[in-house]
């Protein structure tokens, strides 16, 4: 083989290899972007109930509203049942895990009822809790940012959804506590 032909073949091989590597990297970034845009779903079945937590996406920017939806479905034998619960059958526990900060959620002890129809989802959208800000609190800056911004402060959040309710069946009251959770990331813009 002539020296000039070998250099050309080697040069073309290097060029094609670089092109293949570049397209694979671009494809990987595109795949990550597609994955980041997909909803994040966690579901737990407990007895006659399904509890589902949906985050519109796994990664948010600090200025974006974190969109969470809590869903509960009755899958038992009756056509309808009535739940007894506090202000909502859902409550959240949120921890920013890199700082180890838990977001406080107060719950009113109002006794309410919600009727569930078999195989239909009952849904509520997440709303940020009102937090009493005390300037001497060691996590004051975090809580202030959490309350005042549209989204969450940057970090990794473990979000646990609990559904706590009672059901009266054949004169017997039974209590349920069903839990599911997701982890989301919030990044600086």
pTM of the model: 0.78
Q: Among residues 38, 58, 67, 95, which one has the least CA distance to residue 187?
A: 58
Fold of 39-187: Immunoglobulin-like (2.60.40)
Q: What proportions of the chain, in percent to the nearest 5, are helix, strand and coil? A: 25, 45, 35
The pair of structure tokens assigned to 99 is 């700082």
The residue with tokens 């590597």 is 21
- The pLDDT value recorded for residue 131 is 79
Q: What is the pLDDT along the chain (189 residues), one digit of tens a residue?
A: 555 444 433 444 444 444 444 555 545 555 555 556 689 999 999 999 999 999 999 999 999 999 999 999 999 999 999 999 998 999 999 999 999 999 988 777 778 999 999 999 999 999 998 877 777 788 889 998 998 889 999 999 999 999 999 997 777 778 999 999 999 999 998
Domain boundaries, given as residue ranges, for the chain: 1-37, 39-187
């Amino acid at each position: 083989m002539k020296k000039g032909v070998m250099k050309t073949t080697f040069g073309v091989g290097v060029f094609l290899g670089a092109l293949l590597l570049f397209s694979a990297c671009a494809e990987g970034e595109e795949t990550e972007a597609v994955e980041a845009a997909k909803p994040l779903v966690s579901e737990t079945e407990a007895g006659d109930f399904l509890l589902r937590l949906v985050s519109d996406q796994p990664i948010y920017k600090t200025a974006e509203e974190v969109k969470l939806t809590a869903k509960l479905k009755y899958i038992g034998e009756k056509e309808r049942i009535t739940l007894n619960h506090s202000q909502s059958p859902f409550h959240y526990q949120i921890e920013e895990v890199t700082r180890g900060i838990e977001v406080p959620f107060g719950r009113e002890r109002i006794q309410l009822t919600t009727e569930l129809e078999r195989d239909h989802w009952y849904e509520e959208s997440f709303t940020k809790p009102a937090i009493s800000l005390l300037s001497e609190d060691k996590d004051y800056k975090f809580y202030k940012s959490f309350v005042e911004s549209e989204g969450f402060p940057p970090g990794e959040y473990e979000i646990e959804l609990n559904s706590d309710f009672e059901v009266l069946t054949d004169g017997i009251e039974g209590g349920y506590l069903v839990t599911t959770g997701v982890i989301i990331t919030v990044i600086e813009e």
